[in-house]
């Protein structure tokens, strides 16, 4: 396979372009998609190629257009709807909680809802309390959503193509600090199945499960830890629903120790869930307490100093791993 | 527009089917056969039947918590409906939905909805799908007077307006949202006045006059099929009983309810049919009997149907297996 | 103290009546509060006593009136707003997620938001996918909410009075299957502080943390288990934010075993959170895996048969406790 | 209504203060001193200043993502504002809020808001509080043209209407929501037309005419204080730069932006002041200088202020301690 380096946002754009060329029923809908190509430029060029019919600019009516996306999906369209930031989920809250993901179940499996919502997550640029959240754990708590959190351009492209082809509602989360990072992506077409974790680094001492931006912070921490003689295994679940329990548990069986690094708030977060699963299913393998390195359950503050204080960083990761590694 | 005898009799039959279905449902609820929340459509039949008679089978409707009437009017089978109300495996939704969640895709029934205003965006999306694919299908979204105070109504009708979507917004104005009188929650006289804020035509029609509803719908549907966009149709009506089974309904005087029952859409059509010589008393009685039979058979079907299997509770969350 | 038996809903009504008499700034707002006294009759008689000014009937505009409640609270009122069912949180999603609970923080502590939302939770009467949820874990995940889940009339009254007096946003959850249950309540005034668990039964073998309706199911299971010689300690946290970690951990230190019984969905639920906390903080004390008995992450089905299959029941509780108790 | 020289000059001063504050903020953002998202108010000063000049100090305003102008117009101190934009401890919100979240309770500034339409219900609630307590205070909620397509607008104005709440809905119609032209997202010509759906008066005024805005506001505020309920006031305006710092603004031609700048509310008042003999060039230049000085001092204050302490990130979640 020939590869080249492209930006994360180019990977997203490529995935959508390929899927839109392949399948007429795929269309894009959201705010400022045409001229802006969405605020961070992920979609630039798609309007030019696919025109007004397949790239819809909406009013600021998230309930209206998320619901319309679900309705169109039920009829057989494959809308990819942009929710500008995951912080806005509440604006379309009922469509996101009670409608899109429950329709199939409530109606006894009589319909499917192949809706993708693309949204931006994450802190890191002082966007403050209304534009910095990573509350995908709320989505994961709602029955009926699949949820994707890619950490590299390669994963971003392969998983987005899978999302578009999936017959269930998918929440696809793009981290704002990753959108302009680069990575290798094959020239050839590929998809990545949901529910398969990716081991971003192998190691025998401590398993660290990390998501999105946190994968990169963890990989940096790994270098530092390696110098101290601690080799961590970095497991990136890539999708939190479905979650690849097996890979996580197998890694913990090997290392006996687990740290979870997650940017979402700690309380009732996916970090808690992974901890609970592992302590249920791999209790005998654990030789130390499971540690979570997460964002405390506070609104994301604006000032860089404060934002830095709440979002997990290398220092906190290193500290947690050390504690777990030295627990006896 | 000429309305045929056949259409008129079919409208009568459907209204009676709804009325009798609801009457029996009321009893079955009281008898503990039908669990959950049940909102009856009795008294409002003119709307569902008038509207749906103007639609094609491949047109779609979105419905509400008070959805039995919509479902029957669009051709829903009372057998599967009743089985669903019982929570049986043979129900429209295999017992997963119940009274507030019934759908039949093959008949263009997008589904009822327990959330007030919750299905308006979905029906609007169905219309978007039609426009996207260049078909001439239309979608109808039913909702109550109370629902017009939800943001979802506002956002959806505006979306439909700017994109000229083929969707009809049918407001069933029965003057109450639960115990709350419409006059205490909005200042406009007519809900159709809200249409102008979106650049959409608004019409008010007597919802108890099934023929008027039918004719109005034909017109606005025609307009929608031609790509000229949505219309807000307010149908004024009233309900014959409480908001849901269990509601004592003390916020309306007996006189109000009696006055309401006098405006019954079924009686009205029945009189019209006979006075205008469309049908004989006998013909009407035959319909009434056939309707009773159909509902009783549905009840028997529901009674005899098996319960779902507990393990089925975990299927249908996803198309792919449950995680 | 003289006590008498009253209904859970009478306890709620008494709490509100006392607080409204005590403090003019307390008022009620929601749908159908006046004539119906709210759908299950919790508020009957209050309109008659306090009149139109202090009991407001709203349109079906949850975003509007929840937000208005928050706005009035910021100015110094103490609104007690009814959200008819917690399933409706998404209708007011942005006000519930981004506004009410974040205002104080975003504005650097310059304001307080003494808002109470009363809502109904829980399955048990075939109310189906839009009227049966217990998604308080979503609320707990949102920064800024306190969250109360009373299981008895006594707790309901004392905690509601505390909620009304509290200066922060409080989500107060009334379980529909408990509203018509009876219990002893003192004649005299009392309040119950947030963050203090109540031990509903003492036992040395297994700690069972249970909430709301589940407390009662667990107490029944306890009788059966007791016959088998297993004595469980039933800990009812009563508030999940703040959570009384200490009582839970102390109990686990004593028993070494933990089962969590929660009606909310399993994935990223408060059950996961409690599990994660205990495995972090009491790892050495655990002599068996922590088990969760929860509702799977599926919409609540309508049919009694199916509803029964997903909501935790005695049988599942007994089974989980047995497993944990016999783990060696 | 007679408008005094003092009022006019104060309006001029506030508009200039906003303009200069924004000009410097633009530079400081480009220089990396001000992080985050920054939406400038330049060009729209006539609205905030016209409206707030008609208010008392104990009246309240709710604001938007484009909130600097509202804050200054209501009397906000640019020192604490600039420190907040820097993320310093001395800022209005101790650095927790930033550009999109500034409030000053003592001055009746309920706070900016990063969510479009998000603060409309909150301001409506402030008005509810005033009515509940029988005061004659009023609340003003500012929002953009784009925000009127949010459900929160619809629900709030209806609530205000039925309860006759003392709240003024001020729509700042700059014809764009980010890159989206208003004509593509609503079919009505004037946003004020939406008022009739709620039984509320709707007025359209030239937002670049600060005197017209002021006089209109005086009237509708008077109405609100008397318990006669809300008004929707649409102020037509335009912005001098992109949606936010970083927006290339390609959706508007150069000519459009130039035409917009010609309609500058500050120039307009300045000309009026001199032509009508209210003030001399000198007086005006003095104001300009004082304004520059004030902003420069604010920048110095911000520069010299300390950063917040990392551990403060966990305070202010609750009144009671953090859990
Ligand atoms: C968002 C939401 N709020 C409240 C309810 C509770 N509720 C169920 S039906 C109803 C009244 C609906 O009134 P209307 O829209 O006029 O319909 P009608 O019942 O009169 O047919 C209410 C408030 C709900 N189901 N959903
Ligand atoms: C609910 C919501 N949707 C989208 C956004 C992103 N956004 C920020 S400002 C803006 C445009 C707002 O337009 P308008 O209301 O006209 O105000 P203006 O910026 O023109 O002053 C958008 C879409 C947001 N902040 N909140
Ligand atoms: Mg009604
Ligand atoms: Mg605008």
pLDDT in tens, chain B (323 residues): 589 999 999 999 999 999 999 999 999 999 999 999 999 999 999 999 999 999 999 999 999 999 999 999 999 999 999 999 999 999 999 999 999 999 999 999 999 999 999 999 999 999 999 999 999 999 999 999 999 999 999 999 999 999 999 999 999 999 999 999 999 999 999 999 999 999 999 999 999 999 999 999 999 999 999 999 999 999 999 999 999 999 989 999 999 999 999 999 999 999 999 999 999 999 999 999 999 999 999 999 999 999 999 999 999 999 988 77
- Regarding the beta carbon of A288 and ligand 2, being less than 6 Å apart is answered no
Residue D33: exposed, middle, or buried by beta-carbon count in 10 A (0-12, 13-18, 19+)? Answer: middle
**Residue A191 in domain:** no
Asked if residue D134 has pLDDT above 70, the reply is: yes
Q: Are C108 and D97 in contact (CB under 8 A)?
A: yes
Residue closest by Cα to atom 5 of ligand 2: D116
Cβ atoms within 10 A of the Cβ of B251, count?
18
Distance CA C306, CA C298 (A): 11
- pLDDT (mean) for C183-202: 98
CB contact C65 to D (< 8 Å): yes
What is the Å distance from ligand 3's center to C97 Cα? 29
Name the nearest CA neighbour of A232 among A278, A211, A201.
Answer: A201
* Residue B56 confidence (pLDDT): 98
CATH of the domain at A79: 3.40.50.970
Residue closest by Cα to atom 17 of ligand 1: B144
- Regarding the beta carbon of D214 and ligand 2, being less than 6 Å apart is answered no
Residues of C in contact with B84 (CB under 8 A): 302
Proximal ligand: closest to the CA of A127: 2
**CA B15 to each of CA B53, B291, C15: distance values in angstroms, whole numbers, following the listed order:** 11, 10, 48
Residues of B in contact with A53 (CB under 8 A): 132
Q: State the first-to-last Cα distance of chain A, in angstroms, to the nearest integer.
A: 46
- CB within 8 Å of chain B, chain A residues 227-286: 241-243
Same domain assignment for residues C98 and C232: no
Q: How many helices (H) and strands (E) would you count in chain D?
A: 10, 8
Number of the ligand 1 atom closest to the C-alpha atom of B145: 16
Distance CA C229, CA C211 (A): 24
Ramachandran region of residue B318, left (φ > 0), alpha (ψ -120 to 50) or beta? beta
**Residue A59 in domain:** yes
Q: Which residues of B touch D (CB under 8 A)?
A: 149-155, 158, 161-162, 184-188, 193-200
**CA A16 to each of CA A2, A34, A162, D237, D239: distance values in angstroms, whole numbers, following the listed order:** 20, 14, 11, 37, 34
Mutate to test the interface with B, among C82, C130, C303 (most CBs of B within 10 A): C303
* Residue D322 confidence (pLDDT): 77
Calculated CA dihedral for residues C28, C33, C34, C37, nearest 10 degrees: -110
What dotted CATH number matches B5-178+194-306? 3.40.50.970
Distance CA C2, CA D114 (A): 52
* Residue D321 confidence (pLDDT): 84
Q: Which of D155, D162, D196 sits opposite B151 (nearest CB)?
A: D155
Catalytic residue among C130, C131, C175, C265: C131
Number of the ligand 1 atom closest to the C-alpha atom of B243: 19
Output Rg (C-alpha) for chain B, integer angstroms. Answer: 19
The tens digit of pLDDT for each residue in D109-119 reads: 999 999 999 99
Residue closest by Cα to atom 21 of ligand 2: D144
Q: Which of A58, A60, A302 sits opposite D87 (nearest CB)?
A: A302
C238 CB-near residues (< 8 Å, 6+ apart): C148, C149, C150, C151, C155, C159, C192, C196, C197, C198, C244
Domain boundary among A147, A165, A186: A186
D167 to chain C: closest CA residue: C68
* Residue D20 confidence (pLDDT): 98
Three-state DSSP class for residue D269: helix
Same domain assignment for residues C205 and C180: no
DSSP structure string for A251-292: HHHHHS-EEEEEEEESTTSHHHHHHHHHHHHSGGG--S--EE
Same domain assignment for residues C71 and C145: yes
Residues, chain D: 323
Q: Are B42 and B174 in contact (CB under 8 A)?
A: no
Q: Cβ–Cβ of A128/D100 closer than 8 Å?
A: yes
**Extended strands (E) in chain B:** 60-62, 109-111, 139-144, 167-173, 176-177, 180-181, 202-206, 231-236
CB-based contacts of C306-311 (< 8 A; 24+ apart in sequence):
C306/B87, C306/B95, C306/B96, C306/B308, C306/B310, C306/B312, C306/B313, C307/B313, C307/C123, C307/C124, C307/C126, C307/C132, C308/B310, C309/B310, C309/B311, C309/B313, C310/B313, C310/B314, C310/C123, C311/C123, C311/C124, C311/C263
Residues of B in contact with C309 (CB under 8 A): 310-311, 313
Q: Cβ–Cβ of D121/C64 closer than 8 Å?
A: yes
Same domain assignment for residues C77 and C115: yes
CB contact A35 to D (< 8 Å): yes
Please confirm whether the linkage preceding C242 is cis (ω < 30° from 0): yes
Domain boundary among C186, C213, C229: C186
Domain boundary among A166, A186, A206: A186
CB contact C171 to A (< 8 Å): no
Name the nearest CA neighbour of C153 among C107, C192, C114, C121.
Answer: C192
What are the residues facing A41 on neighbouring strands? Answer: none
Number of the ligand 2 atom closest to the C-alpha atom of D143: 15
Tokens 């001000």 — which residue?
D34
The tens digit of pLDDT for each residue in B259-277 reads: 999 999 999 999 999 999 9
Q: Which of D35, D113, D151 sits opposite A304 (nearest CB)?
A: D35
Question: Looking at CA atoms only, how far is residue C146 from chain B in angstroms?
Answer: 26
CB contact A91 to D (< 8 Å): yes
Share of chain D above pLDDT 90, in %: 98
Same domain assignment for residues A210 and A180: no
C63 CB-near residues (< 8 Å, 6+ apart): B151, C91, C92, C93, C94, C95, D121, D151, D152, D155, D156
Same domain assignment for residues A203 and A130: no
Q: Cβ–Cβ of C35/B35 closer than 8 Å?
A: no
According to the 3-state scheme, what is the secondary structure of D183-227? HHCCCCCCHHHHHHHHCCCEEEEECCCHHHHHHHHHHHHHHHHCC
Q: Residue D248 — pLDDT band, cuts 50, 70, 90? A: confident
Residue A200: exposed, middle, or buried by beta-carbon count in 10 A (0-12, 13-18, 19+)? Answer: buried
* Residue C224 confidence (pLDDT): 98
Query: Within 13 Å, how many C-alpha atoms sit on residue D248's CB side?
Result: 8
Tokens of D220: 């509708």
What is the Å distance from ligand 2's center to A36 Cα? 14
Residues of A in contact with D116 (CB under 8 A): 60
Question: Looking at CA atoms only, how far is residue A62 from chain D in angstroms?
Answer: 8
Same domain assignment for residues C99 and C215: no
What is the Å distance from ligand 3's center to C116 Cα? 28
* Residue B9 confidence (pLDDT): 97
Q: Which of B91, B132, B316 sits opposite A109 (nearest CB)?
A: B316
Asked if residue C179 has pLDDT above 80, the reply is: yes
* Residue D2 confidence (pLDDT): 82
Split into its structural domains, chain A has a count of: 2
Distance CA C273, CA C281 (A): 12
**What element of type H or E holds C97?**
none
Q: Are D175 and D207 in contact (CB under 8 A)?
A: no
How far is residue D79 CA from its own chain's centroid? 17
Mutate to test the pocket of ligand 2, among A60, A90, A176 (most ligand atoms within 8 A of CB): A60
Name the nearest CA neighbour of D71 among D3, D24, D21, D125.
Answer: D21
Mutate to test the interface with D, among B120, B150, B152, B154 (most CBs of D within 10 A): B154
The tens digit of pLDDT for each residue in A179-189 reads: 999 999 999 99
CB contact A67 to D (< 8 Å): no
Number of the ligand 1 atom closest to the C-alpha atom of A94: 1
Q: Residue C267 — pLDDT band, cuts 50, 70, 90? A: very high
Same domain assignment for residues C134 and C255: no
Largest CA distance in chain B: 62
Number of the ligand 1 atom closest to the C-alpha atom of C39: 6
* Residue D1 confidence (pLDDT): 59
Distance CA B40, CA B68 (A): 7
CATH of the domain at A292: 3.40.50.920
Residues of chain A with pLDDT under 50: none
Same domain assignment for residues C270 and C174: no
* Residue A132 confidence (pLDDT): 98
According to the 3-state scheme, what is the secondary structure of A199-222? EEECCCCEEEEECCHHHHHHHHHH
Same domain assignment for residues C218 and C294: yes
Same domain assignment for residues C216 and C140: no
**Residue A113 in domain:** yes
Distance CA C193, CA C166 (A): 10
- Regarding the beta carbon of A91 and ligand 2, being less than 6 Å apart is answered yes
Q: Give chain C's mean pLDDT.
A: 98
Question: Looking at CA atoms only, how far is residue C193 from chain D in angstroms?
Answer: 12
Asked if residue D259 has pLDDT above 80, the reply is: yes
Three-state DSSP class for residue B122: helix
Q: Cβ–Cβ of A71/B123 closer than 8 Å?
A: yes
Q: Cβ–Cβ of A267/C273 closer than 8 Å?
A: yes
Distance CA A145, CA A101 (A): 6
Q: Cβ–Cβ of D92/C110 closer than 8 Å?
A: yes
* Residue C232 confidence (pLDDT): 98
Distance CA C140, CA C164 (A): 19
Q: Cβ–Cβ of D98/A128 closer than 8 Å?
A: yes
**Residue A203 in domain:** yes
What is the Å distance from ligand 2's center to D146 Cα? 6
Largest CA distance in chain A: 63
Residue range(s) defining the domain that contains residue C253: 198-326
Question: Looking at CA atoms only, how far is residue B227 from chain D in angstroms?
Answer: 15
**Residue A193 in domain:** no
B148 to chain C: closest CA residue: C60
Q: Are C317 and C261 in contact (CB under 8 A)?
A: yes
* Residue B1 confidence (pLDDT): 59
Same domain assignment for residues A216 and A295: yes
Tokens of C312: 């935790």
* Residue B321 confidence (pLDDT): 84
- CB within 8 Å of chain C, chain A residues 246-305: 265, 267-273, 275-276, 279-281, 283, 286, 288-292, 297-299, 301
The tens digit of pLDDT for each residue in C114-155 reads: 999 999 999 999 999 999 999 999 999 999 999 999 999 999
Distance CA C316, CA C218 (A): 10
Question: Looking at CA atoms only, how far is residue B14 from chain A in angstroms?
Answer: 23
Tokens of C166: 């509290």
Q: Cβ–Cβ of C292/A276 closer than 8 Å?
A: yes
Tokens of D68: 């600097």
**CA B111 to each of CA A104, C1, D315: distance values in angstroms, whole numbers, following the listed order:** 10, 54, 47
Mutate to test the pocket of ligand 1, among B37, B114, B174, B178 (most ligand atoms within 8 A of CB): B178
Residue A125: exposed, middle, or buried by beta-carbon count in 10 A (0-12, 13-18, 19+)? Answer: middle
């Amino acid at each position: 396979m020939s590869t080249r380096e492209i930006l994360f946002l180019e990977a997203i754009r490529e995935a959508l372009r390929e899927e839109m060329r392949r399948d007429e029923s795929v269309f894009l809908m959201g705010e400022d998609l045409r001229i802006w190509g969405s605020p961070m430029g992920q979609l630039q060029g798609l309007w030019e190629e696919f025109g007004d019919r397949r790239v819809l600019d909406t009013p600021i009516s998230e309930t209206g257009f998320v619901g319309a996306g679900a309705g169109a999906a039920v009829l057989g369209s494959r809308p990819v709807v942009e929710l500008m930031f995951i912080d806005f989920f509440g604006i379309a809250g009922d469509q996101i909680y009670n409608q899109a993901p429950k329709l199939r179940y409530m109606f006894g499996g009589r319909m499917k809802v192949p809706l993708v919502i693309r949204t931006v997550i994450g802190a890191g640029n002082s966007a403050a309390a209304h534009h910095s959240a990573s509350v995908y754990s709320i989505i994961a708590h709602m029955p009926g959503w699949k949820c994707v959190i890619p950490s590299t351009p390669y994963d971003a492209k392969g998983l987005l193509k899978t999302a578009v082809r999936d017959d269930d509602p998918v929440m696809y989360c793009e981290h704002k600090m990753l959108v302009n990072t680069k990575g290798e992506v094959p020239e050839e077409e590929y998809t990545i199945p949901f529910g398969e974790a990716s081991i971003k680094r192998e190691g025998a001492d401590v398993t660290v499960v990390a998501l999105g931006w946190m994968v990169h912070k963890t990989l940096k921490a790994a270098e530092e830890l390696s110098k101290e003689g601690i080799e961590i295994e970095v497991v990136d679940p890539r999708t939190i629903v479905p979650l690849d329990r097996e890979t996580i548990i197998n890694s913990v069986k090997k290392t006996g120790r687990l740290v979870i690094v997650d940017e979402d708030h700690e309380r009732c977060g996916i970090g808690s869930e992974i901890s609970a699963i592992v302590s249920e299913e791999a209790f005998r393998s654990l030789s130390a307490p499971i540690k979570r390195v997460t964002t405390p359950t506070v609104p994301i503050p604006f000032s860089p100093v404060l934002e830095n204080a709440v979002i997990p960083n290398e220092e906190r990761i290193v500290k947690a791993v050390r504690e777990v590694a030295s627990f006896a | 527009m000429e309305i045929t005898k056949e259409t008129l009799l079919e409208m009568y039959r459907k209204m009676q089917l709804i009325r009798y279905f609801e009457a029996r449902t009321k009893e079955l609820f009281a008898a503990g056969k039908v669990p959950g929340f049940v909102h009856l459509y009795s008294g409002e039949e003119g709307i569902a039947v008038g509207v749906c008679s103007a639609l094609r089978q491949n047109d779609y409707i979105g419905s509400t918590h008070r959805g039995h009437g919509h479902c029957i009017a669009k051709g829903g089978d009372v057998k599967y409906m009743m089985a669903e109300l019982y929570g049986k495996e043979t129900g429209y939704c295999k017992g997963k939905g119940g009274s507030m969640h019934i759908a039949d895709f093959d008949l263009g029934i997008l589904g009822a909805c327990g959330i007030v205003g919750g299905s308006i965006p979905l029906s609007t999306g169905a219309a978007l799908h039609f426009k996207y694919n260049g078909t001439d299908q239309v979608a109808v979204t039913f909702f109550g007077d109370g629902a017009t105070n939800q943001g979802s109504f506002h956002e959806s009708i505006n979306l439909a307006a700017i994109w000229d979507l083929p969707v009809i917004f049918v407001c069933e104005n029965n003057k109450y949202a639960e115990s709350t009188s419409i006059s205490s929650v909005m200042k406009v006289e007519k809900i159709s006045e809200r249409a102008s804020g979106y650049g959409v035509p608004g019409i008010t029609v007597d919802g108890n006059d099934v023929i008027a509803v039918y004719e109005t719908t034909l017109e606005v549907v025609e307009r929608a099929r031609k790509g000229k966009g949505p219309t807000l149709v307010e149908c004024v009506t009233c309900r014959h009983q409480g908001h849901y089974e269990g509601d004592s309904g003390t916020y309306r005087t007996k006189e109000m309810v009696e006055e309401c029952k006098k405006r019954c859409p079924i009686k009205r059509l029945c009189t019209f049919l006979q006075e205008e010589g469309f049908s004989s008393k006998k013909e009407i009685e035959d319909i009434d009997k056939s309707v009773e039979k159909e509902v009783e058979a549905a009840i028997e079907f529901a009674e005899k149907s098996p319960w779902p299997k507990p393990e089925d509770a975990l299927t249908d969350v996803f198309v792919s297996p449950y995680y």
